[in-house]
């Protein structure tokens, strides 16, 4: 489908003023070959574009909106905080409330520091790890995204266990040279890397469940071994829970897998739709931050009362009913997974659906969902464009990239799911032919 006339008009104007008309690349629809849709409003699980078309939304602002759009409790908390002042640049009580919610819910968080994005949280946690260990190298895994800081915009070089290459222009090779990249789910490569270079690593960065290039669910044994190796070699394990924190349950991926990271990073849900990130860990580590310790990090709008209020209201909604929010998400997302599976099966098209709680990844390739980025079929990703466009016609809004996941919120109900599945059925009947390998 093409975007509506008003959307097209806005897009032309936006392109004159902002590169590709957007402020974050994937929004430009380049990987599904269309034009971005401009939205005017959203409530619950529905988003409405500037041409008055409404969609059931599975993007959820890329993860933060676990309660759906414009949740009344969050909107009310934001409005009431805003009326009392937008930013003080000085301590406020709301920071304590959100910090307390994090520290009381997540065992390995004794202390946290708030920043304004997930990128900042990870960047700062890595700096802290380097400052504490006195080492420079970090290890990450291909297919994992940790924000756009220079030393993390790195992809695997040739061969296993090599130093990374910049994956963006403008990243000095010397920065990338301190980042090692391994494929996920490869025990042998992991053991070898630690044997050869473990004592020079400051930190290992791992996504709670890698959810930024498909959904690459890892084995518990693999993550536990990673934890052991870090401990044996004096390496800090940084679990990047920017997507998974409070998405998979109160304890995030750490709770799910039973692993204790040294540092953890948060963003998305803990800001309830406003710009918030956080990193945290033990008192011993966190007290190495300025002004108590030698590791510097600061932020003009960090911990501002409006963003803190949005985050705290969101976490209260999730936590205050004894975990039933996650049970509901599990049921709703399970229903969606089953329904989509049946729709693809009926259409006779290859597919696989990976799911972790309310995160789903639909891939147009056969077989069990991949665990490694290298196992994602590029051709399957190309076939996604036809489906994406047909679903827009049917009133379902999926991320404009085959590598992005779907997020179910607490306000998607059974009727919304069934409506979505029916829309998939119609879309597949119409464009299934274009989606055959
Ligand atoms: C989204 C994300 C980030 C970056 O967060 P921003 O707020 O976009 O800077 C980092 N790590 C993970 C795992 C993410 O999903």
Closest Cα to atom 8, ligand 1: which residue? 118
| Mean of the per-residue pLDDT values of the chain | 95
Q: Mean pLDDT throughout 100-125?
A: 98
User: Is residue 160's pLDDT more than 70?
Assistant: no
pLDDT band per the 50, 70, 90 thresholds, residue 294: very high
Indicate whether 159 pLDDT > 70: no
Beta bridge partners of 55: 47
Verify whether ligand 1 is closer than 6 Å to residue 266 (CB atom). no
Same domain, 279 and 412: no
Which of 250, 285, 319 is the last residue in one of the domains? 319
Per-residue pLDDT, 22: 96
Does 365 lie in the same domain as 287?
A: no
Nearest CA to ligand 1 atom 11: 146
Q: Is the pLDDT of residue 272 over 60?
A: yes
CA distance 179 to 165: 9
**Which of 146, 106, 145 has its CA nearest to residue 125?**
146
Same domain? For 290 and 340 the reply is no
Section 224-231 average pLDDT: 98
Is residue 189 domain-shared with residue 314, that is, in the same domain?
yes
Cβ of 124 closer than 6 Å to ligand 1, yes or no, is: no
Q: What is the pLDDT at residue 165?
A: 83
Helix (H, G, I), strand (E, B) or coil at 373: helix
| 185 among known catalytic residues | no
End of a domain among 319, 354, 377?
Answer: 319
- 268 CA from centroid of ligand 1 (Å): 7
What CATH number should be reported for the domain holding residue 12? Answer: 3.90.1150.10
Residue 158 has pLDDT above 70, yes or no: no
User: Do 253 and 364 share a domain, yes or no?
Assistant: no
- What's the Cα-to-Cα distance from 153 to each of 147, 156, 216, rounded to whole Å? 8, 10, 19
43 and 90 inside one domain: no
Report how far residue 244's alpha carbon sits from residue 135's, in angstroms, rounded to the nearest whole number.
28
Is 80 exceeded by the pLDDT of residue 190?
yes
240 Cβ below 6 A of ligand 1: yes
* Cβ 213 under 6 angstroms from ligand 1: no
Q: How does pLDDT run across 18-65, given as a tens digit for each residue?
A: 999 999 999 999 989 889 999 999 999 999 999 999 999 999 999 999
**Rounded to whole angstroms, how far apart are CA atoms 389 and 413?**
24
Closest ligand 1 atom, residue 275 Cα: 7
Q: Report which protein residue has its CA nearest ligand 1's atom 15.
A: 243
Cross-strand bridge partners of residue 39: 49
Q: Does residue 288 carry a pLDDT above 90? A: yes
Which pLDDT value is given to residue 174? 87
The mean pLDDT value for 184-200 works out to 97
Please say if 222 is a catalytic residue. no
DSSP letter string, 158-175 = SSTTEEPEESSTT--HHH
Start-to-end CA span in the chain (Å): 22
Is 145 labeled as catalytic in the residue annotation?
Answer: yes
Q: Does the structure show a pLDDT above 90 at 115?
A: yes
Question: In the prediction, which pLDDT does 436 show?
Answer: 84
Domain boundary among 272, 297, 319: 319
Task: For residues 117-130, give the mean pLDDT.
Answer: 98
Domain housing 380: 5-69+322-435
Q: What is the pTM of this model?
A: 0.97
What would the mean pLDDT of 219-239 be, rounded to a whole number?
A: 98
Q: Is the domain of 263 the same as that of 371?
A: no
Which residues lie below 8 Å from residue 211, measured CB to CB, with a gap of 6+? Answer: 243, 244, 356, 359, 361, 405
How many Cβ atoms from other residues are within 10 Å of residue 121's Cβ? 32
- Dist. CA 96 → ligand 1 center (Å): 23
pLDDT at 157: 65
Same-domain status, 222 and 365? no
State the pLDDT at residue 1: 60
pLDDT confidence of residue 381: 82
110 and 54 share one domain: no
Q: What residues contact 98, with CB distance under 8 A and at least 6 apart?
A: 114, 270, 276, 308, 311, 312, 315
Give the pLDDT of residue 386. 94
As a whole number, mean pLDDT of residues 344-357 equals 96
Question: What does the alpha-carbon distance between residue 243 and residue 266 come to, in Å, rounded to a whole number?
Answer: 7
Structure tokens at 58: 């599975």
Tell me what pLDDT residue 411 has: 98
What is the C-alpha separation between 362 and 144, in angstroms, rounded? 18
The mean pLDDT of 380-400, rounded to a whole number, is 94
**Pocket of ligand 1 contains residue 143 by CB under 6 Å:** no
Q: What is the pLDDT of residue 30?
A: 92
* Active-site pick, 49, 57, 137, 240: 240
Q: What percent of the chain has pLDDT over 70?
A: 98
pLDDT band per the 50, 70, 90 thresholds, residue 380: confident
Decide if pLDDT at 161 tops 70. no
Whether ligand 1 lies within 6 angstroms of the CB of 247 is answered as: no
Reported confidence tier of residue 327, pLDDT bands at 50, 70, 90: very high
Ligand 1 center to 119 CA (angstroms): 6
Q: Considering its fold, how many domains does the chain have in total?
A: 2
3-state secondary structure of 261: coil
* Ligand 1 centroid from CA 258, angstroms: 22
Task: Answer yes or no: do 307 and 337 share one domain.
Answer: no
Same domain, 315 and 194: yes
Of 20-34, 88-102, 151-165, least confident by mean pLDDT is 151-165
Question: Ligand 1: does its nearest atom lie under 6 Å from the Cβ of 209?
Answer: no
Q: Are residues 301 and 333 part of one domain? A: no
Q: Give yes or no for residue 243 having a pLDDT over 70.
A: yes
Q: CA–CA separation, 42 vs 275, rounded Å?
A: 18
Question: How much of the chain, in percent, has pLDDT values that exceed 90?
Answer: 89
Within 8 A by CB and 6+ apart from 97, the residues are: 308, 312
Q: Tell me, what's the pLDDT at 434?
A: 86
CATH of the domain at 111: 3.40.640.10
């Amino acid at each position: 489908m093409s975007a509506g006339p008003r959307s097209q008009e806005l897009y032309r104007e936006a392109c004159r003023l902002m590169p590709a008309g957007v402020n974050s690349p994937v929004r430009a629809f380049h990987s599904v070959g269309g034009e971005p849709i401009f939205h005017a409003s959203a409530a619950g699980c529905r988003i409405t574009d500037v041409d008055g078309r409404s969609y059931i939304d599975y993007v959820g602002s890329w993860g933060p909106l676990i309660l759906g759009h414009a949740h009344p409790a969050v909107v009310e908390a934001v409005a009431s905080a805003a009326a009392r002042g937008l930013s003080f640049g000085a301590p406020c009580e709301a920071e304590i409330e959100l910090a307390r919610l994090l520290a009381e819910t997540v065992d390995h968080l004794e202390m946290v520091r708030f920043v304004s994005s997930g990128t900042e949280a990870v960047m700062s946690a890595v700096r802290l790890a380097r400052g504490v260990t006195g080492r420079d190298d970090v290890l990450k895994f291909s297919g994992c995204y940790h924000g756009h800081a220079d030393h993390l915009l790195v992809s695997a070089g040739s061969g296993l266990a090599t130093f990374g290459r910049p994956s963006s222009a403008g990243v000095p090779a010397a920065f990338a040279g301190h980042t090692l990249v391994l494929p996920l789910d490869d025990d042998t490569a992991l053991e070898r890397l630690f044997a050869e270079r473990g004592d020079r690593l400051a930190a290992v960065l791992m996504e709670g469940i890698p959810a930024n290039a498909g959904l690459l669910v890892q084995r518990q044994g693999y993550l536990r071994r990673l934890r052991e190796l870090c401990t044996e070699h004096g390496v800090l394990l940084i679990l990047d829970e920017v997507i998974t924190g409070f998405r998979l349950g109160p304890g995030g991926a750490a709770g799910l897998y039973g692993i204790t990271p040294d540092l953890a990073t948060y963003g998305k849900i803990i800001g309830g739709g406003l710009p918030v990130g956080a990193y945290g860990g033990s008192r011993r580590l966190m007290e190495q931050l300025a002004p108590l310790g030698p590791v510097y990090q600061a932020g003009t709008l960090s911990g501002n009362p409006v963003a803190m209020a949005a985050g705290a209201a969101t976490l209260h909604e999730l936590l205050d009913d004894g975990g039933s929010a996650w049970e509901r998400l599990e049921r709703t997302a399970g229903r969606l997974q089953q329904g989509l599976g049946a729709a693809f099966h009926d259409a006779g098209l290859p597919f696989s659906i990976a799911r972790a709680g309310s995160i789903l990844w639909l891939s147009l390739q056969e077989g069990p969902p991949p665990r490694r980025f290298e196992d994602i079929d590029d051709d399957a990703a190309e076939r996604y464009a036809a489906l994406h466009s047909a679903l827009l016609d049917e009133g379902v809004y999926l991320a404009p990239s085959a590598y992005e996941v779907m997020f179910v919120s607490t306000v998607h109900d059974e009727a919304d799911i069934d409506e979505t599945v029916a829309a998939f059925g119609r879309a597949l009947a119409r464009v299934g032919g274009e989606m055959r390998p």
